[in-house]
Amino acid sequence: MMQLSSDTQCNKHSLLNVMNRFIAAANNMDETIMVPSFLRDVPLEDQDSQASVSPNNNEPSFPSKQRDMYEHYLLLKSIKNDMEWGLLKREMGGSFLEMAVKHEEPQVNGGAAEEGSDLEGQFHYHLHGLFAVLSKLTVQADHLTNRYKREIGGGSLLR
């Protein structure tokens, strides 16, 4: 059985480490939030308070599509499940991977092979994006968990 070197396991800048941190934060959120329905109709805090915690303050902040903490909880849990189990078949006729391959085929076959030839550049672009998104999701999962603890401790979610 092949063993990973300790450098690979301990490198804090590796993709696996970033993924593991998000999954651990999402698992902690899932274990802490015993009654997710308490999160219904509880508004998300200002994005400004999250931006001060965010590791990349120079990136633009996008408004959240989730209306309350419950929808945010479901989003984080869904992303974690997709990462652990793979992408499920989507309504649009296949997984995101299959749709991406179908989207790329006409470009390569249509004579636009130059765009596909810089695979290393595309890989680094998407890897950077994946790191950024996973870091933000980790912060959001930790924030949701801490807010739930604070709200439940104060009893303000209980009606």
Residues 36-89: tens digit of each pLDDT: 999 998 888 754 454 444 445 444 454 567 788 999 999 999 999 888 887 655
* Residue 76 half-sphere exposure toward CB, CA atoms < 13 A: 30
Residues 104-134 have pLDDT tens digits of: 554 445 445 555 568 889 998 999 999 999 9
Look up the pTM and report it: 0.64
The 3 state secondary structure assigned to 24-41 is HHHHHHHHHCCCHHHHCC
